[in-house]
Structure 1
Amino acid sequence: MTDSARPRRATLSDVAAAAGVSQATVSKALNGRDDVAAETREIVLAAVAELGYRPTTAPAASSRRTIAVTFDIPASPYILNVLQGVLVAATENRLDLLTRLPPDRAARGQRAVGRDWIAEQRASGAIGVVGLTLSHPDALLDAASEASLPFVMVDPVDATHKRLVSVASSNWAGARTAADYLIGLGHRRIAWIGGPEASDAARDRLYGYRAALDAAGLEIDPAHVVADQFDAAAGARHARAMLGMDLPPTAIMAADDEIAVGVLAAARELGVSVPRDLSVIGFDDTPQAPWTTPPLTTVHQHLDEMGRMAVHTVVAIADGRRPVSRHVELATSLTIRETTAPPPA
């Protein structure tokens, strides 16, 4: 394609003309200056989104760059550990870190909402966004792509965006390893308490569990496999039901450590001894895992490294470099503690 045939990149002057304001006003609006009226700022941001304008240089007010991180569940130990890696990588790259709530879930799928949210991040000086296990992100990913703003997902939940860039763990392999370990101990009735069915990570972990049991020729009792939320209450509720069956499982695998904590609580409540009567395995290896009673056997994933990798990927894309892979999977391993043992005779 010749230079004359290439589409011309929008300039600050184009945005000013489309918004009906001066170039100085456009610059102030994009730099978050408080001497620009809210209505004027909205008009400028709408013009930026429509023209696909992207500043060629960082705002003159500062030599530092900014990155935004957004997530749905701030109280989750999983999120806090990934955030630690995000913070470390932001510091290493001399980036200021913005913590943002995503748009409300009810409106998140609307393209206009996605465009407005992405325009806000760009107006704040963000060179890119890291999304942590964000549900229904496609409108945000579309808007980020239109605005040429790098957006990297950590453990994507239900994203279908064809150009998705993501960082995750080898969830299938981790669950397969954990199930194989229980089978090797002699367990034959192994139950699964999973996360949301829409979650890619929860689904891959379920598939790893099923693959191990299938390979061992073990029949899976449908009553021993459930999907719910990643929280302790769900784990306790389903564990109570399973342990009250005529033929209860001798081991329960949980799709994350929060669910496993609930399983341990239910077992203690019912007088079921762990690991003598019941073995329990979690997934994540969050800092609380060694401090449960007894200490939790769990699948270790490098949560902080996932956060660091996501930030480094955003920076690479913002600097015009292609990521090594659009979908990075970090290795998992099994951390054996005191909640697993051979099944009761």
Structure 2
Amino acid sequence: MVRAMTSQPGNAKLAQIAREAGVSLSTASKVLNNRPGVSDATRKRIEALLEKNGYRRRRRTEQTTTTMVELLLDDLDTPWSEEILSGVLAGLNKPYVPIISARTSEDWNISDWLEEVLARKSAGVIIPLFEFPKEAEERLARSGIPTVLVDPTGEVPKNVPTVGSNDYIGVREATEYLIAQGHTRIAFIGGPTYLQTAASRLDGFRGAMRQAGIAVDPMLVTSGEFRYEDGSEHARGLLALPNPPTAIFAASDMQAAGVYAVAWERGLKIPDDLSVVGFDDLPTSRMLLPPLTTVHHAVREMAQFGATTLMQLLEGKGGSMPTHIELTTNLIVRQSVRKLP
């Protein structure tokens, strides 16, 4: 019978055993906790080292995992979250099913969520658009629960697989398109300044303007959350300026939808009176009138690829996979930008 093992006081640390075996701490934890996702040859090598260092075996039935995969979302009722969920469902194999958690309450904290994940003995974790604290990385690694980050917002952990996109290039290409249409007074509504993704999008905008020799007016650069309300709030301020912009680049499609609403309130026509560009290419961008020119961010594709990556880890096929995967972005030209005379 295959048995799981537990450590005793005075035994070598699991991290030392992982180094000696030439594997990550997460892989060593999987073997210790009898979790899937490790090749037979590697499992045997780690088990031999565990026994050599005095780890005692216990019955496998004492530690079992479920077929639940944790999906941690920022919100539940946004088109972005719907795209993430659709992608994850497309990427998961039977019998695995997602258990959805959301950071919707003010008193939410990752420590409590981790306790719930460990109590459920979940098979794996997918976390989109979230800065992954070291505490969470280490706890999940020690538990042997494989984790994949989708569109990570902060510093990317070395040993955690990630799926993202090149936001800088996407925004730069879209800004160059606006400039090619004759726009020089371009406003930019960015995302939260503490997010790496928001910083990359702002850098892409500034880079394209600098390359074109166009000075960026500080009055035209604002930041907020990637939400409808933030787009409308900042659009009101921008369009009330004595010399308003001829184009607004919103760092998310939801912000762009807020810009549309304010333009309608002020009796402005898009694109005749104001050109607008978004970022994400959510279904919302196609429903706006006129349809929104935006950067395809491959949200659903990233989520699907993240779920597929997790499946490979659970099936022990992750050894040949790249740790960090970056999908390309591309500009989707629709009807929200006017070419100036």
Q: What code does the residue aligned with 2:273 have?
A: D
Higher relative contact order (CA 8 A, sep 6+): 2
Q: Does 1:275 align with 2:294?
A: no
TM-score normalised per structure 1: 0.77
Query: Residue 238 of structure 2: which of 238, 242, 245 is its match?
Result: 242
Question: What residue number does 1:100 align with?
Answer: 101
Q: Does 1:251 align with 2:247?
A: yes
CA contact (8 A) 1:103 1:117 kept: no
2:164 corresponds to: 168
In the alignment, structure 1 residue 314 sits paired with structure 2 residue 310: yes
Q: Counterparts of 1:1-345 in structure 2 under 5 Å?
A: 12=4, 14=6, 53-56=32-35, 65-90=67-92, 92-101=93-102, 108=109, 113=111, 117-118=113-114, 120-135=116-131, 137-159=133-155, 161-320=157-316, 321-322=318-319, 324-343=321-340
* Deviates most, 145-154 or 312-321: 312-321
Moved more, 157-166 or 236-245: 157-166
User: Is the Cα–Cα contact under 8 Å of residues 138 and 160 in structure 1 kept in the other structure?
Assistant: no
CA distance in 2, matches of 1:233, 1:56: 44
Secondary structure of the structure 1 residue equivalent to 2:277: strand
Over the aligned positions, Cα root-mean-square deviation in angstroms equals 3.0
Which ranges in structure 1 are unaligned for 5 or more consecutive residues? 1-10, 19-49
Cα separation, 2, equivalents of 1:329 and 1:297: 22
In the alignment, the residues of structure 1 paired with residue 35 and residue 270 of structure 2 have an alpha-carbon distance, to the nearest angstrom, of 60
Question: Which amino acid in 1 is paired with 2:79?
Answer: P
Q: 1:314 aligns to what SS in structure 2?
A: helix
Q: For residues 260 and 134 of structure 1, what CA distance do their matches in structure 2 show?
A: 22
> 2: CA distance between counterparts of 1:120 and 1:274?
48
Preserved contact between residue 65 and residue 123 of structure 2 (Cα < 8 Å): no
Q: 1:64 to 1:233 in 2, by over 3 A?
A: closer
Q: Within 2, Cα distance between the matches of 1:180 and 1:322?
A: 40
Q: Is the 8 A contact 1:254 1:280 kept in 2?
A: yes
Q: Deviations over 1:5-56 (max 9, x none)?
A: xxxxxx75648x99xxxxxxxxxxxxxxxxxxxxxxxxxxxxxxx9995234
Question: 1 CA distance for matches of 2:36 and 2:190?
Answer: 46
From the superposition, tell whether residues 136 and 316 of structure 1 become closer, same or farther in structure 2 (CA, over 3 Å): closer
How far off its partner does 1:313 sit? 1.4
The structure-2 alpha-carbon separation of the partners of 1:68 and 1:277, relative to structure 1 and needing over 3 Å to count, comes to: same
Deviations 1:112-133 (A, max 9, x none): x2xx644542443422100021
SS across alignment from 1:334: strand
Report Cα offsets for 1:66-93 as digits up to 9, x if no partner: 3211112112211110110101111x45
User: Percent sequence identity over matched residues?
Assistant: 32
Separation in structure 2 between the aligned mates of residue 299 and residue 271 of structure 1, nearest angstrom:
26
Greater mean deviation of Cα atoms: 118-127 or 331-340:
118-127
Q: 2:298 and 2:135 mapped to 1: Cα distance?
A: 28
Q: TM-score, normalised by structure 2?
A: 0.78
Please state whether the residue corresponding to 1:100 is helix, strand or coil.
strand
- AA aligned to 2:77 is A
**1:329–1:231 distance in 2 versus 1, CA, 3 Å:** same
- Partner of 2:76, secondary structure, is coil
Counterpart in the other structure of 2:49: none
